[in-house]
Structure 1
Amino acid sequence: MRRLGDLGDSAGSPGARPSRRSVLGLAGAAAAAVFAAPRASAAPRTSTAPPTSAAHQTNTSPRAYAADTPFDLSAQGTRWIQDKPLHHTTVMQSFAFDERRRQIYAVQVISGGVRLLGEPRAYTHAERSLAGDLCLNRLSWDGAVLDRMYLKGFGHGTAMGAEETADGGIALWAETDANPASGYGRAIGRFRYAAGTVLSAGDPGVTTYRPRPGTTNNAAAIDQAGRRLLLRYGIAGSRRYALYDLDAFAAGDFGPLADFEQPGTELGLPFQGMTLQGGYAYQMLGHSHDPDSPPPSTGDTRLYCIDLRTGAVVQEQPSRTAYALASREPEGLAVLRNEGHGPRLCMGFASGPVGGRRYSLYYLESH
């Protein structure tokens, strides 16, 4: 892990177009303290069993599936944060919550024209995307950028999770070990946020897990309350989900509680996010669109509720939430536990022109 100092690169001015000469130097701007590496073995065990070919496998232990009521996906989402900039001008890919500190983590591919410390030159956005180089923003509860760090060689940022740890900190889960052929992760990484640093895949600060060796398009989301992890992975042209006990997974035990094919792939829509709560997983698919696009003018965003006990789709629903945003693109799902008020299913959307992307968050209330 390398620490950044001068955070005044032009790509970092929210909403500004990045300069190709942007360099992050060593001038010592204030940054949050670096946490210790997350609790996990230095070399987690890697499953040697091939990914299951069964349509669905389950373990019906009480811990695997907490009793709960699914969100009603037919409801119109309520606006929480609208048209806020991230540090770079690229789209938000996914987000996660630190509810104790009332902070949000949001990840995006690094803008073109940025040269990080130790790099021989600035890279284009296409090069960053293929390399899996990400900017991880830490945001206030009202969506303002507090600080950032960089993740090199991690992946596309398809999904992420924030885990409250025993020491009161936060461990983040995200794809890592980007496939050089696609830019998507081939493993799952667990690490601590450290403002003003560059963390590379394979660094000691990242604990790497390979629950499905030989697969790609890995992504993970977690259910903090239920202590479970949902993995999405690609193999032989298909996309699948696997559910794990979070603590067992962190210890290197990759025996799944369930494994089943991802629904909705036959539609050919881009995958835009996933999350889980209790006995249900949620996914979002869809392209970007403009309000003046030809019919259907509200876009093709679709939400799914999936029963983790059976792998069956409980509800599939076109979503009009945030349809009036310019260049609206669905980007990310996460559950806000919202203790004392009831959980919310939060949906992320990117908007705005190329070179000036912004993000918005909307939510659905629980029943």
Structure 2
Amino acid sequence: MLPVNVSRRHLFTIGAGAAAAAALAAEPAAAAEGRFQLTAPSTSLIWKKPLYDETVMQSFAFDNRNGHIYTLQVKNGSGSNAAGDLCLTKLSLSGSILGHMYLMGFGHGVQFGVEPSGSSAYMWTETDGVSDGDSSRGTRLARFKFVNGQTLTTSSSALTKHTPIPGVRNVTCTIDPSTNRLVMRYYDGSTFHFAAYNLADVKAGSYEPIFHIAQPSGLGTFQGYAAYGNFVYFLTGTAYSDDNPPPGNTYITCLDLRTGAQVQRARTEAGRSLDFREPEGMGIQIASGQPRLCLGLASGVAGARLASIFYKSQMI
């Protein structure tokens, strides 16, 4: 059953034709129709870098204005996963640690977004995590300014919380730098969905989605997503194991936000030589005015995990 404030007309459609025309007209021409070629080779951006804590990187996002990478991971310490305690690390584009924050009780960190603001940056993350005894998942979104060394709880006054769709769980988001849209992923009790909003509308407390589509099931373990133009890309797969030897089972899938159709799916062998090699997170980097579709990979041994990021830049 859909949440009460989401009508079925929003699924797989943006509604009226006038709204569609307005949404497309607001986008750069290349972003409106172009998408990344998932079979194109991948290039390394950062390779085997430590984060502030030593756990597996869960996700990452770019501040394309100020040239920074932010990552989320479960905070060091027994019980942090079930409690939803996260570590947020700020990195240079070469992977050097520039700062960190702790987010207590927020969730699992599957994906998040960064909103640049002058020389500062605001994070958009899940919050109000609910634990199943093993891990915690967010139920709302939170916006807050990155402040090096600060620890936030779910009741901190620094948070501005948003509930675009009440009563759902596994709530996460990403921000498309080409359209300034916030794309939220959530679970309604039976199906995962992606809902795209104008970021400015969400900040103003208006939650009418531009696009609203269902995520196909049965494609593997979900590990992160990114949006660019009219498309959302998501990462699936698991770490190397006896049952998943190299080159592994890491795939990128592209969905059309306008229709929900799957338009491409391809396995990636980026970072094939890494040990452990678990896919973790996606993001859009803008480099010299050109977009890059980035994917993250965790490596190393337990207690000393490392993060690598690769990108694809070929558009079709």
Task: Please name the residue that 1:121 is paired with.
Answer: none
Amino acid at match of 2:142: G
Partner Cα distance (1:338, 1:235) in 2: 36
Return the TM-score normalized by structure 1.
0.78
CA distance in 2, matches of 1:194, 1:355: 26
Whole-angstrom distance in 1 between the partners of 2:284 and 2:168: 27
1:236–1:53 CA distance, 2 compared to 1 (3 A): farther
The match for 1:108 is 73
2:20 partner SS: coil
Distance 2:244 2:235 in 1: 20
Counterpart contact for 1:164–1:224, Cα < 8 Å: no
Q: 1:56 aligns with which of 12, 18, 31?
A: 12
1:360 alignment partner AA: S
SS of match in other structure, 1:143: coil
In the TM superposition, residue 144 of structure 1 has moved relative to its aligned partner by 1.3
**1:77 maps onto 2:42 in alignment:** yes
Percent of aligned pairs with the same residue?
37
**What pairs with 1:197-236 in structure 2 (closer than 5 Å)?**
197-236=150-189
Alpha-carbon contact 2:176-2:227 (below 8 Å) kept: yes
Task: Please tell me whether the aligned partners of residues 202 and 208 of structure 1 are also in contact (alpha carbons under 8 angstroms).
Answer: no
**CA separation of 1:196/1:296 partners in 2, compared to 1, >3 Å: closer, same or farther?**
closer
Question: 3-state SS of the aligned residue for 2:136?
Answer: coil
Q: Relative to total residues, which structure has the larger strand share, 1 or 2?
A: 2
Match of 2:227 in 1: 276
1:279 is displaced (CA, Å) by 1.1
> Cα gap change, 1:49/1:237 in structure 2, threshold over 3 Å: closer, same or farther?
closer
Query: Offset of 1:159 from its aligned partner?
Result: 0.8
CA deviation after TM superposition for structure 1 residue 296, in Å: 5.6
Pairwise CA distance, 1:52 = 4.1
Q: Does the 8 Å CA contact 2:36/2:313 hold for their aligned counterparts?
A: yes
Task: Please tell me the residue identity of whatever aligns with 2:294.
Answer: C
Give, in whole Å, the separation in 1 of the partners of 2:119 and 2:96: 23
Give the superposition deviation at 1:78.
Answer: 0.8
- Report if aligned partners of 2:103, 2:152 keep a CA contact under 8 Å in 1: yes
Any conservation in 2 of the 1:284–1:330 contact (CA below 8 Å)? yes
Shift of 1:56: 1.9
Contact 1:83 1:351 in 2 (8 A): yes
| Aligned counterpart, 1:115 | none
Alpha-carbon contact 2:139-2:168 (below 8 Å) kept: yes
Query: What does the per-residue CA deviation read over 1:269-293, in whole Å, with 9 as the maximum and x for residues that have no partner?
Result: 2211111111111110111115xx4
Alpha-carbon distance in 2 for matches of 1:180, 1:72: 37
Deviation at 1:49, TM superposition (A): 3.7
TM-superposition CA deviations, 1:199-225 (whole Å, max 9, x none): 111311111111111110001001133
Please report how far the alpha carbon of residue 190 of structure 1 lies from its aligned counterpart in structure 2 after TM superposition: 0.6
Asked if the contact 1:81/1:362 (under 8 Å) is kept, the reply is yes
Q: Is the 8 A contact 1:347 1:363 kept in 2?
A: yes
For residues 119 and 243 of structure 2, the distance between their equivalents in structure 1, rounded to whole angstroms, comes to 50
**Equivalent residue letter for 1:74:** T
Paired position in structure 2 for 1:148: 100
Report 1:230-309 matches (<5 A).
Answer: 230-263=183-216, 265-267=217-219, 269-289=220-240, 293=242, 297-309=246-258
Greater Cα shift, 140-149 or 65-74:
65-74
Per the alignment, residue 313 of structure 2 pairs with 365
Question: 1:108 corresponds to which letter in structure 2?
Answer: Q
**Bigger CA radius of gyration:** 1
Distance in 2 between residues matched to 1:150 and 1:233, nearest whole Å? 23
Deviation at 1:304, TM superposition (A): 0.9
**CA distance in 1: counterparts of 2:124 and 2:288, whole angstroms:** 22
Deviation by residue 1:285-333 (Cα, 9 ceiling, x = unmatched): 111115xx45663111110111111111110111111122100000010
Could you tell me how far 1:163 is from its partner in structure 2?
1.0
- Displacement of 1:61 in angstroms is 3.8
Task: Please name the residue that 2:277 is paired with.
Answer: 328
Give yes or no for contact 1:232–1:241 (8 Å, CA) kept in 2. yes
Structure 1 pair 78/232, CA: closer, same or farther in 2 (3 Å)?
same
Measured in 2, the distance between the counterparts of 1:270 and 1:190 equals 27
Distance 1:96-1:204 versus aligned 2 partners, 3 A rule: same
**Does structure 1 residue 171 correspond to structure 2 residue 119?**
no
| Residue number in structure 2 paired with 1:94 | 59
CA shift at 1:101, angstroms? 2.3
Number of equivalenced pairs: 301
- One-letter code aligned to 1:76: P
Q: CA deviation at 1:169?
A: 2.6
- Alignment correspondent of 2:303: 355
